[in-house]
Amino acid sequence: MTNGKDRIAEAKRSSGAYGCVECGKCVAVCPMAEMYTNFSIEMSPRGIIKKTLTGNDIILDENIWYCTECNAGTDVCPQGVSCRDLIRYLKEIAIEKYAVKDIKYCTRCGKQFLSIPVKNFVFGRLKEEPPNVLNILELCPSCRREMYMLRNA
Amino acid sequence: MQEQVTEKNNIITLEDLRPRREEKKTFSDYFMPRRHSGILFDPKKCTGCGTCEMVCSLRNVSKIAPASASIEVLRDEENGKNFAILCQHCRKPLCIEACPTRAIEKGEDGIVWINKLFCVECGLCIMACPEAAPLRDPITEEVNKCDLCEGDPLCVEYCPAGALTFTKGKKIRWIKGLRWSVQTISFLLLAVILVGTFCSLKAGALSLSCPAGILQNIASSGTIVLVWILSAFLILGLTILAGRFFCGWICPFGFFLDLVDKITPKKIGWPSFLKSRMAKYGILAGAVGGSCAFGFQAFCPVCPIGSICRSYGATGTLNGANLGIMAVLAGLEVGEWRVWCRYFCPVGALLALFAKIGLIKIVIGANQCKKFSCIQCAEVCPMGIIDADKLREGISPVIRMTECITCMRCIDRCPYGAAKLRFRWQKAVPGNIEL
């Protein structure tokens, strides 16, 4: 088992974070700006990459849990930095090393499938739906498909 | 455009860039509403071969790669069951609400599709879909969702077992057309041609009467005439055979309320302290008791069915007082659909007593009901007796035939054939689903 710092260094290497030129294109296309009212430089992909390259406490930072792991930033990056991969690695390390509260577990199979801020956003958009539908949304997608099959097949 | 932006302190929201398309109801939506287009899946026929996945991926990524298809076949090897997960093209899609970049659109043809120009592959549509129908390609991480191949689905074409069928566009619902024509004809007959005839009609040896009127007659005069009972028995017999068929298909006032409802499709709700369905039995008892006490038919002068029959005089004049009753009760329609029929109508109350021992029933099987979010049957029910919450939970709702007016709107509307007309003794509601 490699220690945390090595894992982070590997994450930085494999996602190409060292190549970041801080152009901010990823921030311009990031859907989080639309999703959260408290969107800030710390939450943006550029901020997270910068903090990863400079500081050490990135894993305990709650800002990485706001990311939806979409492809927008990776798509536009001129340097080929994959902010999605970087944040995904950071989340993996955080889940392995610490007991993380920011993650949503499936109520049926127990799999972790969504971070709490993203879940809050989805449920906030759907707050007019009846509670029965929202209960279904507590399940992970594969469980939902299975429930749908058990229900109808 | 530039000036508008500066007024808002330079903050451009998604509302400015990609405003939501507003739903427009056209003339034809009211008279020939669309059955929502989509693919229907029959699990009994599916063999789990996966041809649908293959042809779908051939269209999506130009190669045979079932993982990048927009349809997924789940195979339950233990029980020998197969099931295809595919987008149902909901009427109110949750994915559109959840998408942060508004990449998902519902076109005028009812097809919900992902605009790849705006999609950032965040996967929130998967999280918002009750069936998790948008599928993520595990290699490229693209989100694929069925767009019905723009109206000609390949999977339907190539399915060797015929388990997938495509329904689309406008479909004339024959029950709906039949009901409206029967209602129109009976309205013209009862209210215009044979004026005032619903209450009592004598044509030679044949005589017809309103059953509630006969009951009041008996109460007020204290005598029972056999002809009266026989003449009332036509409608009562019809009720025993076909439920409150009269209310849904023949009653001229019901037809009038259905027409009013076309003008006021939005309902503001009805106060809960007036929501007792037992009130109509009270009014019936009051009418009979009042007739007994006063010696004349107590309710008939204000009966809306009678007043709609009497409002058009034989000489071609319109009766003001009767029209006034109709106008007041039509005003109640802004609260709920068919308020009078639901809560107050004593004629309906008498028919409900006979419908209780009727021969038919309407069942809605949760097993056949394929969707968590469709619930169109509960929306179109004019009496509001279908429990949408139970249906969402997977429990087949019990439909009280005393309240059901057998208009068969639910049967007509259900795209999955879950609502059915059954005889009383036939097998009851298909089993519930444990969620």
Nearest to B120 among A72, A137, A142 (CB): A72
Is pLDDT above 60 for B170? no
Query: Under an 8 A CB cutoff, do B372 and A69 touch?
Result: no
Q: What is the mean pLDDT of residues B316-337?
A: 78
What are the phi and psi torsion angles at B386 (to 5°)? -90, 125
CB of B104 less than 8 A from some CB of A? no
CB of B98 less than 8 A from some CB of A? yes
The predicted structure's pLDDT at residue A21: 93
| CATH code for residues A4-97 | 1.10.1060.10
Q: What is the mean pLDDT of residues B128-136?
A: 89
- Which residues of chain A does B81 touch, with a Cβ-Cβ cutoff of 8 Å? 149, 153
| Mean pLDDT estimate for chain A | 87
Q: Which of A45-49, B66-70, B418-422 has the lowest mean pLDDT?
A: B418-422
Query: Under an 8 A CB cutoff, do B435 and A151 touch?
Result: yes
Distance CA A35, CA A117 (A): 10
Query: Under an 8 A CB cutoff, do B97 and A114 touch?
Result: no
Distance CA B170, CA B172 (A): 7
Question: Regarding predicted confidence, which is higher, B7 or B137?
Answer: B137
The predicted structure's pLDDT at residue B372: 62
Query: Under an 8 A CB cutoff, do B85 and A149 touch?
Result: yes
Chain A residue with Cα closest to B93: A126
Task: Write down the domain spans for chain B.
Answer: 19-167, 175-355, 360-423
Asked if B397 contacts B386 with a C-beta cutoff of 8 angstroms, the reply is: yes
Residue range B8-64, pLDDT digits in tens: 566 777 777 778 777 666 666 655 555 667 788 878 888 989 999 999 999 988 899
Q: Which of A83-97, B130-144, B168-182, B325-339 has the lowest mean pLDDT?
A: B168-182
Residues whose CB falls within 8 Å of the CB of residue A40, separated by 6 or more in sequence, listed in order:
A47
B198 — pLDDT class (breaks 50, 70, 90) = low
Is pLDDT above 50 for B2? no
What are the phi and psi torsion angles at B198 (to 5°)? -65, -35
Q: What is the mean pLDDT of residues A141-146?
A: 90
Is pLDDT above 80 for B202? no
* Interface residue of B90, B127, B367, B434 to substitute, partner A, most A CBs within 10 Å: B127
The predicted structure's pLDDT at residue B42: 79
Question: Regarding predicted confidence, which is higher, B185 or B435?
Answer: B185
Closest-CA distance of chain A to residue B144, Å: 14
Question: Regarding predicted confidence, which is higher, A47 or B314?
Answer: A47
| Mean pLDDT estimate for chain B | 81
- Which residues of chain B does A71 touch, with a Cβ-Cβ cutoff of 8 Å? 120-122, 141
Query: Under an 8 A CB cutoff, do A31 and B127 touch?
Result: no
Nearest to B83 among A70, A122, A153 (CB): A153
Tell which residue, A140, A148, A134, A77, has the closest CA to residue B136. Answer: A140
Q: What is the mean pLDDT of residues B220-239?
A: 80
User: Coil, strand, or helix at residue B357?
Assistant: coil
The predicted structure's pLDDT at residue B184: 92
Residue range B358-377, pLDDT digits in tens: 888 888 877 667 666 677 78
User: Given the structure tokens 């509630």, which residue do they identify?
Assistant: B212
Query: Under an 8 A CB cutoff, do B392 and A114 touch?
Result: no
Query: Under an 8 A CB cutoff, do A125 and B98 touch?
Result: yes
Kindly provide the b/e burial profile for residues B21-50, where b requires at least 16 CB atoms within 10 angstroms of the residue's own CB. eeeeeeeeeeeeeebbbbbbbeeeebebeb
Q: What is the mean pLDDT of residues B147-158?
A: 88
Structure tokens at B395: 């429990």
Query: Under an 8 A CB cutoff, do A133 and B392 touch?
Result: yes
Is pLDDT above 90 for B168? no
The CA R_g of chain B, rounded to the nearest whole Å, is 27
Chain B residue with Cα closest to A85: B141
Distance CA B435, CA B433 (A): 6
Asked if B112 contacts B104 with a C-beta cutoff of 8 angstroms, the reply is: yes
Q: Which of B213-217, B292-296, B416-420 has the lowest mean pLDDT?
A: B416-420
Closest-CA distance of chain A to residue B387, Å: 13
Task: Classify burial at B68, counting beta carbons within 10 Å of its beta carbon; exposed 0-12, middle 13-18, buried 19 or more.
Answer: buried
Closest-CA distance of chain A to residue B73, Å: 10
Distance CA B63, CA A128 (A): 41
B323 — pLDDT class (breaks 50, 70, 90) = confident
Question: Regarding predicted confidence, which is higher, B277 or B21?
Answer: B277
* C-alpha distances out from residue B223 to B76, B327, B350, B414, Å: 70, 36, 20, 49
B291 — pLDDT class (breaks 50, 70, 90) = confident
- Which residues of chain B does A149 touch, with a Cβ-Cβ cutoff of 8 Å? 74, 76, 81, 83, 85
Asked if A116 contacts A103 with a C-beta cutoff of 8 angstroms, the reply is: yes
Tell which residue, B343, B309, B339, has the closest CA to residue B323. Answer: B309
Chain A residue with Cα closest to B17: A34
Q: Which ipTM did the prediction report?
A: 0.90
Question: Regarding predicted confidence, which is higher, B168 or A35?
Answer: A35
User: Given the structure tokens 């190549």, which residue do they identify?
Assistant: A19
The predicted structure's pLDDT at residue B16: 79
The predicted structure's pLDDT at residue B51: 93
CB of B268 less than 8 A from some CB of A? no
Distance CA B140, CA B114 (A): 16
Nearest to A70 among B120, B129, B388 (CB): B120
Distance CA B60, CA B116 (A): 12
Residues whose CB falls within 8 Å of the CB of residue B387, separated by 6 or more in sequence, listed in order:
B378, B397, B398
The predicted structure's pLDDT at residue B1: 42
How many CB pairs lie under 8 A apart between chains A and B? 105
The predicted structure's pLDDT at residue A48: 92
Tell which residue, A137, A132, A129, has the closest CA to residue A107. Answer: A137
Query: Under an 8 A CB cutoff, do A149 and B373 touch?
Result: no
CB of B14 less than 8 A from some CB of A? yes
Is pLDDT above 70 for B357? yes
| CATH code for residues B360-423 | 3.30.70.20
Closest-CA distance of chain A to residue B129, Å: 7
| CATH code for residues B19-167 | 3.30.70.20
- Which residues of chain A does B85 touch, with a Cβ-Cβ cutoff of 8 Å? 145, 148-149
Q: What is the mean pLDDT of residues B412-434?
A: 70
Q: Which of A93-107, A132-146, B194-208 has the lowest mean pLDDT?
A: B194-208
Is pLDDT above 70 for B196? no
The CA R_g of chain A, rounded to the nearest whole Å, is 17
Tell which residue, A106, A105, A104, has the closest CA to residue A145. Answer: A106
What are the phi and psi torsion angles at B325 (to 5°)? -60, -45
Q: Does B19-167 match B360-423 in CATH topology?
A: yes
Query: Under an 8 A CB cutoff, do A153 and B82 touch?
Result: yes
Is pLDDT above 80 for B5? no
Is pLDDT above 90 for B215? no
Tell which residue, A70, A69, A110, A116, has the closest CA to residue A89. Answer: A69
Kindly provide the b/e burial profile for residues A106-129, where b requires at least 16 CB atoms within 10 angstroms of the residue's own CB. beeeeeebbbebbbebbbebbeeb
The predicted structure's pLDDT at residue B314: 59
Q: Which residue type, as a one-letter code, is found at position B114?
A: I
The predicted structure's pLDDT at residue B201: 67
Task: Classify burial at B81, counting beta carbons within 10 Å of its beta carbon; exposed 0-12, middle 13-18, buried 19 or more.
Answer: middle
Task: Write down the domain spans for chain A.
Answer: 4-97, 103-152
Distance CA B312, CA B301 (A): 15
Is pLDDT above 90 for B195? no
The predicted structure's pLDDT at residue B313: 62
Is pLDDT above 60 for B233? yes
Nearest to B392 among A32, A132, A146 (CB): A132
Q: Which of B27-41, B130-144, B377-391 has the lowest mean pLDDT?
A: B27-41
Tell me what percent of the residues of chain B surpass a pLDDT of 70: 84
Instruction: Quote the pTM value.
Output: 0.70
